[in-house]
Chains A and B, each alone.
Chain A
Amino acid sequence: MAESKDKIKKVSVICAKGSLEDVYAALVMTNGARMEGIEANLFFTFFGLDAITKKKMNKLHTATVGNPAMAMPGGLPFPTILGVLPGVEAGVSAMMRKGMDDLDIPPVEEFLDMINAAGGKIYGCKLAVDMFKLKREDMYDDMDSIITIGEFYEKAAGGQIIFT
């Protein structure tokens, strides 16, 4: 296989959305970078902060309304009207989490623990933390710190930035 000689040395991933799939995209990319020996930062902002908010991190949902890729198990279309019924979104999200567990994909908190143990850095966005009136104790214990966007760019210097 032809591989470029210019190895990526550092990535900084920004997670700005709080749905299950957006958060997992950021987690997989950050952890995957560490698995390859790439230095990695993971920065959570706006609704992405749910992934590092203790009360919410293990209960993230995937949208059943306004999600054109949504389908029934087996591939049949998923009528939008179903998505608004009470409990449907929670049920679909629970099914997704179960499916991921079967593939040895860890729950959000354990995934963050893995990234932390792997030497990846986890940050919260100061502006969004202030906006949502979050306190440090409400948030993931092993988060490295709450930083400003300026500090984010300092930490991202010399690497690639990925916005999920």
Chain B
Amino acid sequence: MSQKEIAGVTIDVDDSGYMSKFEDWSKEIATALAKENGIGELTPKHWEVIEYIQKEVQNGAALSIRKIGKSGVVDIKEFYSLFPDGPLKKATLISGVPKPSGCV
């Protein structure tokens, strides 16, 4: 567990940089995390994916790329192009939810 200064606030993060407390999450933090992780400006489509991920995690669901691809929000190809270089890892990090543990 460590702390990190971002978007003018201090947040708790785990060893991989994932936010420890979802309550701390804000759109400003997400925007800053996106920049930091090479995603750039977040478009309305990015926000739709982030909202979907947050909703699924709050409902206790395990996330996978397959599931996101079937969500009706984005297909797998689009998901990879919105969040290049590790879409599930980056999208969950920006969404303020824990790092997914699945292998598929």
Contacts and interface: CB of A to CB of B under 8 A. Distances in A.
Contact of B86 (A36, A104, A119): A36
Contact of A104 (B67, B77, B89): B67
A84 interface: no
A28 interface: yes
B69 A114 contact: yes
A2 to B, nearest CB: 10
A24 to B, nearest CB: 10
B104 A106 contact: yes
Contacts of B76: 113-114, 117-118
Nearest to A100: B104
The range of chain A's interface size is 10 to 19
A36 B104 CA distance: 11
Interface in B25-69: 62, 64-67, 69
Contacts of B87: 35
A79 interface: no
A118 B80 contact: yes
B10 interface: no
A117 B77 contact: yes
B66 A106 contact: yes
A119 B80 contact: yes
A31 B15 CA distance: 25
B78 to A, nearest CB: 9
Interface of A: 1, 28, 31-32, 34-37, 103-106, 110, 113-114, 117-119
Interface of B: 15-16, 62, 64-67, 69, 75-77, 80, 84-89, 102-104
